[in-house]
C-alpha cells in the first residue's frame, strides 16, 4: 500500500472541507522533562476528539462514489473509529451500525450515538465485536468497514502531512498502534515527502500483538489485550498494516499502563490537554526513551482525548485506571 504525494494531498483537501487542520506545538515543560525538543501533534483537537475522524471522511467519500446504492455501513470499535464512521456516514445520509464490546466506555458510547450510530454491544473485547460486525454485514446488506483499509489510511495520513510540514524537521516521531492506520498513515506521509524521520510505534505491555508481530516478521496474536488504553486493546494484528509498519517503523516500544497514566498526568500538568490512554502512549514511550532521544527533535502523536471522567479523576489522583 503506497501513496503518491498527489494522492495524499487530494485526501487532505477532502478532509479539510469537514475537518480543520489540527495544531502542533512545542511545549517547554515537556521538552524539559525529556531533555529534547518535543513537538505534539494535537489530534485531540479534531471534531471527534481523535485522529480517526479523518479516515471516516475519506472512506465514506469513497463508498458513496463506488457503491452509490449502499444504504449504510457496519463496523466495530472501542470508540474513536465508531465516532468517525457515524459522523461521516450520517452526514452522507447513510445508516451507521456500530458494534462495541460489552462494558465499553459509556462516554464513548454516548458520543457515538450522538453522531448517529446505531450501537450494539457484543462480546468481551474488540476482536470479538469485530468478528460479529463482519458476520452481520451481509445479513443486513451493509458495507463492512474493517479497522484497516486503504481509504482509512489515506485520510489519516493527512495529519502526518500537516505535522511534517508545519513542525521543524523531526528526528523521530512516536505513534500509538491499535489496528495500525495511524502509524501507517504517518509512514505514508513521511515517505511521500521524502523525509528520513524515524518512526517508532507504541503498544501497551498488556496488548503486545503489534510488537510481537513486528519482531517475529509475521502476525502473532496475543492471548489478551489488557489495558485501560482502549485504542491499543487489540489481540489480533492486521496483516496489511503489519506489512507496512514492519518495513517503515524503526522499532516498536511497549509501555505499561502506569507509564501511560504518568504521561497523561504530565500532559495535563504541562499543557492542560486531556489525553486518553492511547493518546498518552506516545509520550510515555518518549519518556521511556529519554536517554536515547536526549538533545534531539522529537514528535509525539496525541491521537485522542476521549477519556472517561472517572478514569481521568483516577489519573489526576496519581492512580492508574483498571483495564477496560
Task: Give the pLDDT mean for 298-322.
Answer: 97
The answer to whether the CB of 177 falls within 8 A of the CB of 210 is yes
Q: pLDDT for 12-40, tens place per residue?
A: 999 999 999 999 999 999 999 999 999 99
**What is the DSSP secondary structure assignment for residue 148, as one 8-state letter?**
-
The three cell numbers of residue 17 are 472541507
Q: State the Cα–Cα distance between residues 281 and 264, nearest whole angstrom.
A: 8
Q: pLDDT for 243-301, tens place per residue?
A: 999 999 999 999 999 999 999 999 999 999 999 999 999 999 999 999 999 999 999 99
Q: pLDDT for 57-98, tens place per residue?
A: 999 999 999 999 999 999 999 999 999 999 999 999 999 999
Q: State the Cα–Cα distance between residues 139 and 59, nearest whole angstrom.
A: 22
Q: Which candidate, 120, 150, 149, places its Cα nearest to that of 135? A: 120
The answer to whether the CB of 84 falls within 8 A of the CB of 75 is no
Q: State the Cα–Cα distance between residues 203 and 227, nearest whole angstrom.
A: 10
How many C-beta atoms surround the C-beta of residue 258 within 10 A? 12
Q: What band does 2 get if pLDDT is binned at 50, 70 and 90? A: confident
Confidence check: pLDDT of 123 > 90: yes
Cα torsion 147, 210, 208, 290: sign: negative
Q: Which candidate, 32, 51, 45, 35, places its Cα nearest to that of 189? A: 51
Q: State the Cα–Cα distance between residues 3 and 78, nearest whole angstrom.
A: 28
Q: Which candidate, 10, 7, 22, 53, places its Cα nearest to that of 301? A: 22
Q: State the Cα–Cα distance between residues 241 and 181, nearest whole angstrom.
A: 7
Which element (helix H / strand E) includes 199? strand 198-204
Beta bridge partners of 118: 97
Average pLDDT, whole number, for the chain?
A: 96
At which residue does the C-alpha cell 503498544 appear?
203
- Structural domains in the chain plus CATH codes: 5-51+150-316 (3.40.50.1100), 52-145 (3.40.50.1100)
Q: pLDDT for 150-185, tens place per residue?
A: 999 999 999 999 999 999 999 999 999 999 999 999
Q: Which residues contact 76 (CB under 8 A, 6 or more apart)?
A: 82, 98, 99, 100, 126, 129, 130, 132, 133, 134, 147
Amino acid at each position: 500500500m503506497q501513496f503518491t504525494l498527489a494522492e495524499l494531498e487530494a485526501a487532505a483537501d477532502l478532509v479539510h472541507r469537514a475537518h480543520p487542520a489540527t495544531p502542533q506545538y512545542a511545549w517547554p515543560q515537556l521538552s524539559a522533562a525529556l531533555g529534547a525538543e518535543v513537538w505534539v501533534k494535537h489530534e485531540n483537537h479534531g471534531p471527534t476528539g481523535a485522529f480517526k475522524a479523518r479516515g471516516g471522511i475519506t472512506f465514506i467519500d469513497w463508498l458513496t462514489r463506488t457503491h452509490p446504492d449502499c444504504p449504510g455501513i457496519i463496523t466495530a470499535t472501542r470508540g474513536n473509529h465508531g465516532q468517525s464512521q457515524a459522523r461521516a456516514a450520517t452526514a452522507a445520509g447513510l445508516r451507521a451500525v456500530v458494534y462495541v464490546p460489552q462494558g465499553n466506555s459509556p462516554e464513548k458510547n454516548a458520543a457515538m450515538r450522538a453522531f448517529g450510530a446505531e450501537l450494539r454491544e457484543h462480546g468481551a473485547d474488540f476482536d470479538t465485536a469485530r468478528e460479529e460486525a463482519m458476520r452481520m454485514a451481509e445479513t443486513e446488506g451493509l458495507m463492512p468497514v474493517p479497522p484497516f483499509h486503504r481509504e482509512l489510511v489515506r485520510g489519516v495520513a493527512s495529519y502526518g502531512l500537516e505535522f511534517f510540514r508545519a513542525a521543524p524537521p523531526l528526528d523521530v516521531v512516536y505513534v500509538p498502534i491499535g489496528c495500525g492506520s495511524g502509524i501507517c498513515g504517518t509512514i505514508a506521509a513521511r515517505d511521500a515527502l521524502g523525509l528520513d524521520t524515524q518512526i517508532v510505534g507504541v503498544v501497551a505491555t498488556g496488548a503486545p500483538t503489534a510488537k510481537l508481530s513486528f519482531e517475529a516478521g509475521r502476525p502473532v496474536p496475543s492471548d489478551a489485550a489488557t489495558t485501560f488504553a482502549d485504542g491499543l486493546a487489540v489481540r489480533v494484528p492486521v496483516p496489511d498494516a503489519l506489512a507496512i509498519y514492519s518495513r517503515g517503523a524503526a522499532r516498536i516500544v511497549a509501555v505499561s499502563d502506569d507509564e501511560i497514566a504518568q504521561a497523561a498526568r504530565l500532559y495535563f500538568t504541562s499543557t492542560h490537554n486531556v489525553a486518553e490512554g492511547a493518546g498518552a502512549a506516545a509520550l510515555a514511550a518518549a519518556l521511556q526513551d529519554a536517554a536515547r532521544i536526549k538533545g534531539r527533535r522529537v514528535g509525539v502523536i496525541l491521537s485522542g482525548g476521549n477519556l472517561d471522567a472517572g478514569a481521568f479523576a483516577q489519573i489526576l489522583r496519581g492512580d492508574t485506571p483498571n483495564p477496560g
